[in-house]
Amino acid sequence: MTTEKHDTLRNAAVNEKTEETINHWESGQLGLSEEHAEPISMEEMAELANGFDLELKPISIRLPRTLISQLKFIAHMHGIGYQPLIRDVLTRFTRPELIYLANQLADQKQAETTLSDEDSPAARHLRDCA
């Protein structure tokens, strides 16, 4: 057997085992036994609760009924409520979008700086085209 084929088979086995482990965690076969659970004090619980203070602000948003139904179905399949799912979706969108916009602004600033330099090739090109 070639090394490449061996690696492919090994990766497939690892992926299958990983998927199986994920399924066991999500189904509760792993991680829910009382023998591995440890009680925590009220102080520890309060500290944990403080870490989850998200400073949530209620909003009202109009969404199509079918979209809400789809979100509720997806949330149910993941074992969470649809509002936390929507928060997660918005967070996943917002972080990369902010990075994208910051890069756009940086590129725009760089372009403005380049064009303001009358000796830059870009500024000479614009003068020649005018």
Q: What is the pLDDT of residues 79-128, one digit of tens each?
A: 988 998 998 899 899 888 988 888 888 888 887 776 677 766 766 666 67
pTM: 0.45
The one-letter amino acid at 74: I
pLDDT for 112 equals: 74
Compute the distance between CA of residue 91 and CA of residue 88 in angstroms, rounded to an integer.
5
- Axis-axis angle for helices 65-78, 82-116 (nearest 10): 110
The 3-state secondary structure of 39-95, one letter per residue: CCCHHHHHHHHHHCCCCCCCCCCCCCHHHHHHHHHHHHHHCCCHHHHHHHHHHHHHH
| Residue at 40: amino acid letter | I
d(C-alpha 29, C-alpha 17), whole Å: 15
pLDDT at residue 40 greater than cutoff 90: no
